[in-house]
A and B are shown apart, each in its own frame.
Chain A
Amino acid sequence: MPPDPNRDSASGEPVDLDSVIAELKARIEERRRAGDYPEDLEETLDEHFDRLVGVRPRSTPALHSELQAALRELSTQRFTRARIDPSSNLPAGSLVHRAMGRALSRQVDGVLRQIEEQNLLVTRAIALLGEIAATIGNEFDTKVLQQLDDLQVRLAEQARDVTRLEFGVAEARERIPGCAVDSWYGQDHFTAFFRGESDDLRARYTELAKELIGCDPVVDLGFGRGEFMELLAELGVRVRGVEPDEQLVLSARSRGLDVEQGSAVEYLQNVEPGSLGGIVMIQVIEHLSPQHVIDFVELAADTLRPGGKVVLETVNPASLYTYAHAFWVDPDHVRPVHPGFLEFLFREAEFSRIAIEYRSPVADSERLVALPGDDAQTALINENFDRIGALLFGAQDYAVIATR
């Protein structure tokens, strides 16, 4: 039934699609029978595309059916005397063969029966082997695929763990001492609130700034509001500022200061050795991790030229008063740095001169009041008061001026 071209099956009635499909299937059968469709059309097309896409052969159904056919043939093979060719090249030879065959028929038939029985056993064994091979293949496939899946899942788990660790590390790095705390408030507000207005600070640092006259170029690490930089500029010292807080950097830049955003240690790591005349770190070193404190002194030694100076100020841990007041106010403070340790570090780094200057004495109004009277007991109590006072009310800050 050749398809009539350009049919129009519409008669207004809805088309029954199921019967259309049945009709199409019937048509395919018809075409196959008529030889319009080649018998192996599907297989040829599949093989063609599989070859192009490089997919491994899916299975070996063809081989399997060949094996079945071979086994069928094997089991239907009959062993009979009749299939023994009696023909002979000698005259009347075939008569002799036939007579011999008849005479030996019992023996021959016995042997043939045994061979036939043997053949059945062999056929069954081969069939079993075929099945075993197929089973092994299937089991192998299943197992290998399962293992592959397991491996993939495990790999994925590990990849995910690594990513999670990366996130964790990134998160942790922000919390590591020496990196700025992630504060929503402005750092300038914090400084103004706890450390007074810029003018007070300028007065405090004038003398310290003068230490750096003639030490161009100077870098002020953690310049904060930039008071020290301004003092240096007024003294004619060429100074560049580095500060991690973006707001502070923007504010300083707007006032015409030469500044950039960054961290102290990282900055020094990228400075040409022996190229600096001075390094300033005012109230910064207590923000660094112990490792960074140690690294800083080594980097200072590397980057300063001979005669160059480090001028730094920090909270004095030898005064217990500072723990009650200044030190723990700032959440970004990591740990106080002892003057003795800093002196040791600069000495080890072969700085030629190290001066330590204690600053910001505690106001008298905060100190213990001596008992009046001058008898021996009062004197002893007052002497003890002095000892306690020295421990409690030591200078709140100290400065280190270390010359390379």
Chain B
Amino acid sequence: MIAPVQRERAGIGGYRGAYRPREFGIHQILAAAAPGDAITNAALEYRDVLRRVAPSDVFARHIAPGAAADVKPLSDYGADGTQGLLVYHASIGEPAVSAFLQSRTEPLVLVYHNITPAKYFRGLDDTFAELLVLGRYELEQLRPRVVLTIAASHFNAAELEALGYRDVRVIPPVVNPFRLARTLPDGATLTYLDREFNEPFLLFVGQLLPHKRPDLLVKAMHTASTYLGLQARLLLVGQNRFAPYADAITAQVRELNLDQVHILGAVPDDRLAAMFRRATAFVTVSEHEGFCVPLLEALAFDVPVLARACAAIPETLGDGGFLLPERVTAELVAEAIDCIVRDSGLRRDLVARGRHRLRELTQFDASIAMLEAIGEVV
């Protein structure tokens, strides 16, 4: 008997010509993939775990050049059969991905990393806001197709339950917080920080987006330096995905005459590792996070963390850092920064808390939990 062979297609219209046997696979689908993006990283970590049990690839609708080596275009997803499992990492709305998922017959696993509320982008980028609204709408539409739902945090699980999902499993992202800490730091960056920075510096890692509130950090730096006489710098590291917003932050820094605030954009891992090694503290006043991986990375570097009790942050950070209340003013953030920079005892205490928290978190092997959950539906 001739084995059933599936002709692989190269998307709408046109054949790739290659013949390939249809096989069982657990593949992942993303709307967009970019290097350094938390969801892309999570999908790649998932892939490595999934490959222990089945062929597994990551497919995305939009692929940034830097991610092209690891991620395949969605149009390459070819297996026509009902064998296999699709793992969908839900983020922004993307009609093409949604239509693709609706057109498939494979059972669907939903991994929810959270969708930023649209209100942060209204008036700033209405198109993007629309995609965020759409993302939530699509989540609702997909619900009947989903056989397993995984949320990165209880905060995310609660959002899914509000959309009618039941039996949501909370499994933190399969991330290794020590990966960055074990990266060899860039020597030139270390030398630069040692020679040029005479004062302590704070590190923020995250995309320059409204819900991460880098503007509030800048306001706090202005307040601390102007009214508290704080001598410290702030490094903002992360992709500037929205030019108008990043421009506004740059203008804010310039107009407040804050030479001590540096907007660095995305940096390679080795440079980031160097900055973590020399940072006095990690700060974030983000209002919306589905998990917040950089917090754990800071802990892995023994860097004290100052954060704000918003969204999933209290869940992720636990007792491992200095958690400001949800409602803060620039003054309170400034006072806290000032306190953490000046008080070495407080920093030592926070480092000890961080180590304890990291031990708690790493006792739980998320990859096994994830494989077990997937095993139940295969």
Tell me, yes or no, whether A binds B: yes
Would you mind naming 22 contact pairs between A and B with Cβ atoms under 8 Å apart?
A5-B342, A8-B345, A10-B348, A11-B345, A20-B346, A21-B325, A36-B227, A37-B227, A42-B329, A45-B219, A48-B252, A49-B215, A49-B252, A152-B134, A156-B138, A160-B98, A160-B99, A162-B95, A163-B99, A167-B100, A173-B13, A246-B17
Q: How far is the CA of A404 from the CA of B7 in the complex (A)?
A: 41
Contact yes or no, A24 B336, CB < 8 A: yes
Contacts of B364 in A (CB 8 A): none
Is A15 on the interface with B (CB-CB < 8 A)? yes
User: When the two chains form the complex, which single residue of B19, B124, B332 contacts A53, counting CB atoms closer than 8 Å?
Assistant: B124
Is A14 on the interface with B (CB-CB < 8 A)? yes
Q: Across chains A and B, which 5 residue pairs bring their CB atoms closest together, nearest first?
A: A10-B345, A53-B248, A170-B12, A163-B99, A9-B345
Nearest Cβ in chain B — how far from A262, in angstroms?
Answer: 12
Is B4 on the interface with A (CB-CB < 8 A)? yes
Q: How far is the CA of A170 from the CA of B96 in the complex (A)?
A: 14
Known interface pairs A7-B344, A20-B346, A164-B102; 13 further A-B residue pairs with C-beta atoms within 8 A, sorted by A's residue number: A5-B342, A15-B345, A28-B329, A31-B227, A37-B227, A46-B219, A49-B215, A54-B244, A156-B134, A160-B95, A162-B95, A167-B99, A184-B6
Contacts of B228 in A (CB 8 A): 3
Contact yes or no, B7 A182, CB < 8 A: yes
Docked complex: B208-238 residues within 8 A CB-CB of A:
210, 215, 218-219, 222-223, 227-228
Q: How far is the CA of A46 from the CA of B215 in the complex (A)?
A: 9
Residue of A nearest to B16 (CB): A246
Nearest Cβ in chain A — how far from B335, in angstroms?
Answer: 4
Nearest Cβ in chain A — how far from B143, in angstroms?
Answer: 15
Contacts of A170 in B (CB 8 A): 12-13
Contact yes or no, A7 B342, CB < 8 A: yes
Which A residues are closer than 8 A to B by beta carbons? 3, 5-11, 14-15, 17, 20-21, 24-25, 27-28, 31, 36-37, 41-42, 45-46, 48-49, 52-56, 149, 152-153, 155-156, 159-160, 162-164, 166-167, 170, 173, 182-185, 246
Of the candidates A14, A36, A41, A46, the one having the most CB atoms from chain B within 10 angstroms of its own CB is A41
Nearest Cβ in chain B — how far from A169, in angstroms?
Answer: 8
How many residues of chain B are within 8 Å of chain A by beta carbon? Answer: 62
Nearest Cβ in chain B — how far from A161, in angstroms?
Answer: 8
Q: How far is the CA of A183 from the CA of B2 in the complex (A)?
A: 13
Residue of A nearest to B231 (CB): A5
Contact yes or no, A52 B123, CB < 8 A: no
Q: At the interface, is chain B mostly helix, strand, loop or mixed?
A: helix
Is B133 on the interface with A (CB-CB < 8 A)? yes
Docked complex: B330-372 residues within 8 A CB-CB of A:
330-332, 335-336, 338-339, 342-346, 348-350, 352-353
Nearest Cβ in chain B — how far from A58, in angstroms?
Answer: 10
Contact yes or no, B349 A156, CB < 8 A: no
Which B residues are closer than 8 A to A by beta carbons? 2, 4-7, 12-13, 15, 17, 19, 93, 95-96, 98-100, 102-103, 123-124, 130, 133-134, 137-138, 210, 215, 218-219, 222-223, 227-228, 244-245, 248, 251-252, 255-256, 322-325, 329-332, 335-336, 338-339, 342-346, 348-350, 352-353
Contact yes or no, A17 B323, CB < 8 A: yes
User: When the two chains form the complex, which single residue of A20, A37, A49, A246 contacts B339, counting CB atoms closer than 8 Å?
Assistant: A20
Of the candidates B6, B222, B255, B339, the one having the most CB atoms from chain A within 10 angstroms of its own CB is B339
Contacts of B133 in A (CB 8 A): 149, 152-153, 156
Contact yes or no, A7 B343, CB < 8 A: yes
Contacts of B244 in A (CB 8 A): 53-54
Contact yes or no, A8 B343, CB < 8 A: yes
Q: How far is the CA of A163 from the CA of B256 in the complex (A)?
A: 47
Nearest Cβ in chain B — how far from A251, in angstroms?
Answer: 13
Do A21 and B255 form a contact, CB below 8 Å, given A160-B99, A164-B102? no
User: When the two chains form the complex, which single residue of A6, A27, A31, A36 contacts B342, counting CB atoms closer than 8 Å?
Assistant: A6
Contact yes or no, B93 A156, CB < 8 A: yes
Nearest Cβ in chain B — how far from A1, in angstroms?
Answer: 12
Q: How far is the CA of A48 from the CA of B350 in the complex (A)?
A: 34
Contact yes or no, A184 B19, CB < 8 A: yes
Residue of B nearest to A4 (CB): B342
Contacts of A24 in B (CB 8 A): 332, 335-336, 339
Contacts of B331 in A (CB 8 A): 28, 31, 37, 41-42
Q: How far is the CA of A27 from the CA of B228 in the complex (A)?
A: 11
Nearest Cβ in chain B — how far from A188, in angstroms?
Answer: 14
Q: How far is the CA of A162 from the CA of B98 in the complex (A)?
A: 12
Contacts of B134 in A (CB 8 A): 152-153, 156
Contact yes or no, B227 A27, CB < 8 A: no
Contacts of A156 in B (CB 8 A): 93, 95, 130, 133-134, 137-138
Contacts of B96 in A (CB 8 A): 163
Nearest Cβ in chain B — how far from A249, in angstroms?
Answer: 10
Q: How far is the CA of A131 from the CA of B350 in the complex (A)?
A: 49
Residue of B nearest to A149 (CB): B133
